[in-house]
Amino acid sequence: MNVVNPDQRFCERFRLYVDAYLDNEMPLGSQDAIQHLSFCRACSRVLAERAQVKERVRHAVRREQAPPELLAALREQFHRRDPCLSSTDAHLFQPDL
């Protein structure tokens, strides 16, 4: 007989949504997740590791610049979809620094 600990089930479910939790888009009850993280070292460790990876990626991406052709193509596509966007909206196509 294979008995699964209810906390283990929550761990499995929580780990599917770690990124959503980090992005404040948690589909599960946030209070349940916060309570679970207060006693579950394994999920807390997974959360900390994922947060660190996301921060490293964010930092690496900030150093990259999109090629001018790509920016121009994006501006054109957005302008076609929303003619209210103008060249003064160029800040929308720059990375957050």
Tokens at residue 33, please?
């997740």
pTM higher than the cut 0.75: no
Query: Under a CB-based contact definition with an 8 Å cutoff, are residues 57 and 50 in contact?
Result: no
pLDDT at 20: 85
How does pLDDT run across 53-86, given as a tens digit for each residue? Answer: 999 998 888 877 888 899 889 888 888 877 675 5
Tell me how far apart the alpha carbons of residues 28 and 33 are, in angstroms, rounded to a whole number.
Answer: 7
